[in-house]
Amino acid sequence: MSGAQGSYYLPNPSAWPIIGSIGLFTLLLGFMLFLNEGTAGPWLMIFGACVTAFMLIGWFGTVINESEGGLYNDHVGMSFRMSMLWFIFSEVMFFAAFFGALFYTRTLAVPWLADTDLLWPNYEGGWPTAGPKGPMPIDADTAVSNPATQFSTIGPWGIPVLNTLLLLSSSITVTIAHHALKQNARGRLILWLGLTVALGIVFLYFQAIEYHHAYTELGLTLGTGVYGGTFFMLTGFHGLHVTIGAIMLAVVWLRCIRGHFKPDNHFAFEASAWYWHFVDTVWVGLFVFVYVF
């Protein structure tokens, strides 16, 4: 039903959800076939990804039009804000599973494995480790000559600390942009928000360089035992979330340029900023537990 002034906006029937389901299903079906050597796999994946992207653009586009059309009151805005916070909580728990795996292997599983002399009597444990059958760790940032027998980790005080500074700065720039929006200083808003997106992109660029370095020179891959697995899954999923957050902020930036949002009403900006602070916080956890210690 269309929202009368003052009442809670309830949307009309919508085809976007079913389009989203078809997209998601096709994407995952394609991925599954790809993993199991089905020839149709990659094509289905591309098709599914396109349908999903079409759904996201269309659905969010509808929401943006409804919002700019003045259909949402504060009550609806509160629903959106609460939903975003709970969604971020679910993301926190997703990362918690991988942090849990990291802590469990480091503090329990690897020491137990080292203490057990039955299968691998000469395994010493320690961290980093690629397990008794994996390559041996050598000093951080040392290029290895034979990745089958050796691997090296990435020290925290090169690219990672730089990336930490980049993300922390971007949390500050997005806050400056938020204050500018509240004061209706559109020029400053667009500048600082644009800078935030740029910092995010630079972060991703550095991470790509780091991954390339790890794969080609350090012998550190996804298959480098439990160290490589936890390292790449944690930083990889984080990088994915930085990408999503940067896309969200970029959309908000474009909307700012178009003159969307008001000083007292800008949910999409707030949600993207919260999400950005969330990926920032996760990175601090990563920096401390994956790189430093």
Interface with another protein includes 157 (CB under 8 A)?
A: no
Interface with another protein includes 56 (CB under 8 A)?
A: no
Interface with another protein includes 78 (CB under 8 A)?
A: yes
The two beta strands, 150-152 and 136-138, are parallel
d(Cα 200, Cα 202) in Å, to the nearest integer?
5
d(Cα 97, Cα 89) in Å, to the nearest integer?
13
- Across 78-193, the runs of DSSP E, i.e. the strands, are 136-138, 150-152
Q: How far is CA 190 from CA 32, 173, 258, in A?
A: 42, 11, 10
CB-CB contact of 287 with 164 (8 Å) = yes
Looking at this protein, which amino acid is placed at residue 54? F
The separation between CA 151 and the C-alpha centre of its own chain, rounded to angstroms, equals: 26
- Please choose, out of 104-112, 170-178, 243-251, 275-283, the segment that lies near another protein by the rule CB under 8 A: 104-112
User: Any residues with CB less than 8 A from the CB of 115 and at least 6 apart, and which?
Assistant: 125
Q: Site for another protein (CB under 8 A): which residue of 57, 61, 65, 75?
A: 75
- Please choose, out of 130-138, 183-191, 244-252, 257-265, the segment that lies near another protein by the rule CB under 8 A: 130-138
Q: Site for another protein (CB under 8 A): which residue of 69, 119, 145, 293?
A: 119
Interface with another protein includes 233 (CB under 8 A)?
A: yes
> Site size for another protein, by CB under 8 A?
68
Q: Which phi and psi (to 5°) does residue 72 adopt?
A: -95, 130
- Please choose, out of 23-31, 44-52, 185-193, 263-271, the segment that lies near another protein by the rule CB under 8 A: 23-31
Q: Is the dihedral of CA 44, 47, 49, 55 positive or negative?
A: negative
Interface with another protein includes 223 (CB under 8 A)?
A: yes
**Residues 25-54 contacting another protein, CB under 8 A:** 25, 28-29, 31-32, 35-36
| Chain residues in the site for another protein (CB under 8 A) | 1-2, 7-8, 10-18, 20-22, 24-25, 28-29, 31-32, 35-36, 59, 75, 78-79, 82-83, 86-87, 89-91, 93-98, 100-101, 104-105, 108-110, 112-113, 119, 129-134, 221-223, 225-230, 232-233
